[in-house]
Amino acid sequence: MSLTGSDLQTRFDAIDNALAAEPAPDERERLKQQIITLFRDADAAATAALALKASVKSLVERWKQLDGATASAKPSTGAATFSGSGRVDHLGASTFIEKGWSKLSLGDPAGAEVALRRALELAPGSNEAETLLGWAQMMQQQYDGALATLQQVLARDPEHAMASANVGYIGLRQGRYGEAIEQLARVIRLDLDRKATLYAHLYLGMVYREREMYDDAETFFRKALELGPNLLQSWYELGRVHWFAGRRGDAIASWRSGAEANKFSPWGKRCAELLGQIEQGGAPPRAD
């Protein structure tokens, strides 16, 4: 039986809802078996997707062979072009863009930068690759370089939402809070890109946390969690807001939520590590 992402998600949601209802022991055992089966099916679907991806690459090679045999043959307007004869390799670049985003998600900005620079070699001027490159640079605290990279994107596309959100983050890190608030609020107001809007809420929460405006910070972190429940950094930051506002119990609850949501993610691990520090009498860091 062929499994789709929608089928797997439906099963995931059903198990997630059942766990949230605090099931009885016999029901928990049944859910355990469902989780094992779901994991196996998801792994099989991922393997099938990788196999299909490899097959698609073979189509690229066959296209190149035909293109080389017929000099007059050109891809139609808007079609992906491939490397060779000085042309832009958008398809090849997309592989490195995907790799770059994956490494960013796993907390490896240096590895992401390597992949994204390769993507830009294959597709110079790619807004997506250059925006992610700026992101990787800023996550390595290379703020001036990141700003220069993102400004190149905005020079080509002044309304590029993700580049604008990341410029707002750099403003936060460089202590230009007013500029950061203006930039991020504009991204939220225009709402041109869901991911950019999500991160703009996260970054605005961080701005207000830095300014010790904890109620405002909490509002933006909770909205970020509403827009993106998997953005576990929001739980980490929300916990810090609660702690600094003197709400120790709420802080611990927030970090526990982040740790339990995904113990394998970088931010889930940070939430768990912070809980351990608190149990030993420690406190969260004020600086990132």
pLDDT band per the 50, 70, 90 thresholds, residue 74? very low
pTM: 0.69
33 has pLDDT over 50: yes
53 has pLDDT over 60: no
How crowded is residue 190: how many other Cβ atoms within 10 Å of its Cβ? 14
pLDDT band per the 50, 70, 90 thresholds, residue 86? very low
Burial 81-109 (b: 16+ CB within 10 A, else e): bbbeeeebbbbbbbbbbebbbebbeeebb
Q: Tokens at residue 58, please?
A: 């073979």
CB of 196 within 8 A of CB of 185?
no
| Domain range annotation of the chain | 1-67, 232-288
Taking all residues of the chain, what is their mean pLDDT, rounded to a whole number? 86
The residues, any chain, with a CB within 8 Å of residue 123's CB and separated by 6 or more, are 88, 89, 90, 92, 93, 129
Structure-derived torsion over alpha carbons of residues 130, 163, 267, 141, reported in degrees to the nearest 10:
70
CB of 274 within 8 A of CB of 255?
yes
pLDDT digits (tens, 9 = 90+) for 143-154: 999 999 999 999
Mean pLDDT over 261-268 rounds to 92
pLDDT for 51 equals 53
pLDDT digits (tens, 9 = 90+) for 154-163: 999 999 999 9
pLDDT digits (tens, 9 = 90+) for 158-183: 999 999 999 999 999 999 999 999 99
pLDDT digits (tens, 9 = 90+) for 11-27: 888 888 888 888 888 88
% of the chain exceeding 70 in pLDDT: 82
CB of 167 within 8 A of CB of 144?
no
285: helix, strand or coil: coil
pLDDT for 1 equals 46
